Amino acid sequence: MFLVNVPLCAAGALAALRLIQPDPVRESGRAFDLPGAVTATAGVTLVVFALVEGPEMGWGQPAVVVSAVLGVVLLVAFARIESRSADPVMPLRLLRHRDLVVAMAVTAVFMATFGVQYYFLTLYLQDVHGYSALATGLAFLPQSLLTTAGTLLGERMVGRFGVRNTLVTGLLLGAVGMVAPASGMAGDGTYAGLLAGIAVLSLGQGLTWTGMWIAAGTGVEHHEQGVASGMASTAQQVGGSAGLAVLVAVAGAAASPVGGLRTAVFATAGVAAVGALAALAFRRREDRALR
């Protein structure tokens, strides 16, 4: 069987080589923007550290305050460096690309909603209902499978209905799906009572995941696709950190632990709905170009 597969694989590889276009000649003479890379990495890391540790350590703690201030200073320095660099790691003119900015906003909202709801659902299952780590992981299995199905469906929806409609649909499904589990969160609630909402939000999560990465690269020159994707990825991570920090504070302000978890998940639904409004800014002109 192995000997039969070898020539088949070789034939497939040769066919692929005939179909794949060669890479264009790379631009020569570019320099690595070390100052930009260092200030961007350090600045984002310090800001994320402050956002993550603020709720736990206290926002007035010196470590949190110094990290936040220094992070902002480094990000301002990064913008200054990029505006003067001949070979910037992130050309600032890309921020004038409306669709990329919309995609960055959506990726930030995605992680601040779909991303952080796992945290609150985990606390609900483990702290309120006493689930073990294994049982909690198994409880998330339907969510994982339905999210995968949503990503596959998202690919078809983008081709048929466009990026904007896919993003809006995914975010609205997520908002509706988050309201349902939040409504069912109670001391005497059941896992079965969460499943319908989890199914809806999981499909919305898959649709949004597919659409937002396509949105990040739509209309961007081929040689800047990596930069655009990196910008969207950075927005995603910062959005997740900021969203979790804010929602943990919201949950902690409630009168009871269950009430806090319920309020936090309701809040994620509201943020997802706002994200759907932001997605409406994505241009239809680019949608038609994908069909």
Q: How far apart are CA 215 and CA 212, in angstroms?
A: 5
CA distances from 193 to 25, 54, 62, 183, 190 (A): 57, 33, 44, 9, 5
The C-alpha R_g of the chain, in whole angstroms, comes to: 22
What does the domain layout of the chain look like in residue ranges? 31-90, 96-289
pLDDT at residue 74, as a whole number: 95
Give the single-character DSSP code of 61.
S
| Topology given in CATH for the domain delimited by 96-289 | Growth Hormone; Chain: A; (1.20.1250)
pLDDT at residue 289, as a whole number: 43
pLDDT at residue 51, as a whole number: 83
Structure tokens at 48: 């994320």
pLDDT at residue 68, as a whole number: 94
Q: How far apart are CA 234 and CA 43, in angstroms?
A: 12
Residue recorded with tokens 């960055």: 104
pLDDT at residue 21, as a whole number: 54
* In contact, 287 and 164? CB cutoff 8 Å: yes
pLDDT at residue 57, as a whole number: 86
Phi-psi region of 29 (alpha: psi -120 to 50; beta: other; left: phi over 0): left
Supply angle C-alpha 73, 240, 91, rounded to 5.
50
* In contact, 128 and 251? CB cutoff 8 Å: no
Q: Can you list the pairs that 254-257 forms with residues at least 24 positions away whose Cβ atoms lie under 8 Å?
A: 257/127, 257/128
Mean pLDDT of the chain: 85
The segments of the chain whose pLDDT lies below 50 read 1-8, 11-17, 19-20, 286-291
Q: How far apart are CA 200 and CA 140, in angstroms?
A: 14
